[in-house]
């Protein structure tokens, strides 16, 4: 049985800009009537964590030390007086969002990830709650989060592979759902990495004919093992002409600055381009290319708690699993180095408490 905290937690935290984390003990947020305390057993490492502590996405003044991690999974150890979504002893998780205004139209429609009040839409770490507390993420032994953003983990989903689904999983599942991908849909997935290998699995599980699109032909066999039926090697310029108008939907998980007109040529008439990666430069596509083929360009931001629960159940039912490496709580710095060197295959999970599988 997981033990409740004493109000404190041990963490691996970043004290300043850079990619090195160090041990730190911190005070947990006060357990309010809507809050859930989780004894963290597993926490995924997301590239967003590294961007944040590196300062790539803006300064973090006043937030240091930062405890990264928004793929949090563990055992519920305490609940506030009003909590009904989970109970002590449940396996539960927290994704990238920890709070929202709860009253705007998006929140009322259960799309909290698009909350329109930026002062109350709070990320799971390095965000400020209404009471002033700076949120702490999953590189820690405990987490306390509002019940609205805590999700139950289905029984059929093992904890270690479930953790990355809380960010990488929902980031790929939500746009595929919005696109209406179904049996017979022709789907291309650009980038066969932490997001791409899950996008292939989700689309294939929905019955789509999935093609992996990559600059590396060495990834063909692995892409096929995830469910891809075709492979386009874009290191060969002739591949664009050979696959012109071949796809109803393309999911781009790459953050690279692509040859946009060439890639958009792969879309069929009325095709949809789903942008998940965040390139350093604006996406530039000739307007006539969009007009003449009625192409839709869209992007999505993670997913709501209800969508995360739907995705987790789908993954449990359809055997969608991230390919993971598991590291110990003291090995986070080495794991970050592997992510930066593009050596992770494909998500790294911190086994925070080895007493729990």
DSSP states of 73-99 as a string? EEEEEEE-TT--S--TT-EEEE-SEEE
Q: How many CA atoms lie within 13 A of 22 on its CB side?
A: 7
Residue range 122-148, pLDDT digits in tens: 999 999 999 999 999 999 999 999 999
Q: Rounded to whole angstroms, how far apart are CA atoms 147 and 98? A: 9
Q: Is 27 exposed, middle or buried (0-12, 13-18, 19+ CB in 10 A)?
A: exposed
Q: Tell me what pLDDT residue 92 has.
A: 98
* 3-state SS, residue 252: strand
Mean pLDDT (whole number) for 206-224? 97
Helix%, strand%, coil% for the chain, nearest 5: 30, 25, 45
Query: Is the Cα dihedral 61, 65, 71, 75 positive or negative?
Result: negative
Does the pLDDT of residue 62 top 90, yes or no?
no
For the segment 276-314, what is each residue's pLDDT rounded down to a tens digit? 999 989 999 999 999 999 999 999 999 999 999 999 999
Token pair 């259960």 is found at: 110
Res 56 pLDDT > 90: no
pTM: 0.97
| Pair 53, 68: CB distance under 8 Å | yes
């Amino acid at each position: 049985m997981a033990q409740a905290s004493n109000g404190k937690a041990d963490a691996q935290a970043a004290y300043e800009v850079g990619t090195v984390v160090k041990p730190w003990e911190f005070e947990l947020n006060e357990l309010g009537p809507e809050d859930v305390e989780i004894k963290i057993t597993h926490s995924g490492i997301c590239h967003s964590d590294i961007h944040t502590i590196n300062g790539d996405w803006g300064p973090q003044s006043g937030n240091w030390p930062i405890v990264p991690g928004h793929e949090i999974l563990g055992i519920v150890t305490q609940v506030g007086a009003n909590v009904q979504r989970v109970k002590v002893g449940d396996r539960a998780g927290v994704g990238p969002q920890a709070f929202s205004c709860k009253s705007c139209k998006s929140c009322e429609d259960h799309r909290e990830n698009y909350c329109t009040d930026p002062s109350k839409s709070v990320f799971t770490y390095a965000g400020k709650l209404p009471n002033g507390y700076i949120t702490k993420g999953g590189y820690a032994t405990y987490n306390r989060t509002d019940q609205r953003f805590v999700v139950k983990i289905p029984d059929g989903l093992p904890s270690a592979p479930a953790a990355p689904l809380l960010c990488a999983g929902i980031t790929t599942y939500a746009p595929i759902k919005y696109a209406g991908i179904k049996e017979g849909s022709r789907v291309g997935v650009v980038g066969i990495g932490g997001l791409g290998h899950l996008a292939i699995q989700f689309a294939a599980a929905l019955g789509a004919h999935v093609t992996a699109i990559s600059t590396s032909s060495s990834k063909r066999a692995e892409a096929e093992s995830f469910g891809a039926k075709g492979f386009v090697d874009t290191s060969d310029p002739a591949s664009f002409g050979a696959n012109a108008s071949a796809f109803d939907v393309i999911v781009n998980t790459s953050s690279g600055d692509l040859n946009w007109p060439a890639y958009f040529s792969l879309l069929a008439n009325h095709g949809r381009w789903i942008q998940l990666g965040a390139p350093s430069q604006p996406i530039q596509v000739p307007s006539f290319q969009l007009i003449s083929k009625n192409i839709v360009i869209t992007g999505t931001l993670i997913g709501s708690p209800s969508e995360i629960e739907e995705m987790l159940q789908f993954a449990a039912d359809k055997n969608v699993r991230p390919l993971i490496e598991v590291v110990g709580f003291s090995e986070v710095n080495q794991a970050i180095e592997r992510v930066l060197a593009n050596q992770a295959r494909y998500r790294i999970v911190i086994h925070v408490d080895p007493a729990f599988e």
